[in-house]
Amino acid sequence: MDTFNKDEPNSPFHTPFPSLQDCPAAQRALDYYLKPGVSDEQEHRFFDVNRNIKGEEALVHACDLLRCAAATAHESANRLQGSNRDLAFSVVHMIDLAKVMLDRSLDGYPAR
């Protein structure tokens, strides 16, 4: 079993900054940047869009989601007062603007 003296300059633990010796955060940073990756990790998403969905279908679904978000924000705003109510209605307004933009982009598709 190899043992290293921490004071030896050639040991893997030698650092000109003694305060960093045996520092877990420093070791994690070195491991993160210097250790080779074992394998490429697959990104696991909680929610993912079906890759086979057509552009028009995605836009229609986005419009439906915005409509639901606007209804939720509108109901919430109706239960508030003062600046909180104003803030909630500004969210409704931004959602409505986004929905208008999506509706405009759907105009480019032929009617079914």
pLDDT of 22 > 80? The answer is no
Whole-angstrom distance, CA of residue 60 vs CA of residue 70: 15
Prediction pTM value: 0.53
Question: Domain-by-domain residue ranges, the chain?
Answer: 55-106
**Which tokens is 21 given?**
């010796």
pLDDT in tens, 96-106: 999 999 989 88
What is the per-residue pLDDT for 27?
79
Name the amino acid, one letter, at 17: F
pLDDT of 40 > 90? The answer is no
pLDDT in tens, 48-96: 888 899 988 998 899 999 999 999 999 999 999 999 999 999 999 999 9
Assign 39 a pLDDT band (cuts: 50, 70, 90).
low
Calculate helix-pair angle for 55-78, 82-106, nearest 10 degrees: 160
For residues 42 and 60, which has the higher predicted lDDT (pLDDT)?
60
Q: What sign does the dihedral 62-67-68-72 (CA atoms) show?
A: positive
E-strand spans in 1-112? none
Residues in the chain: 112
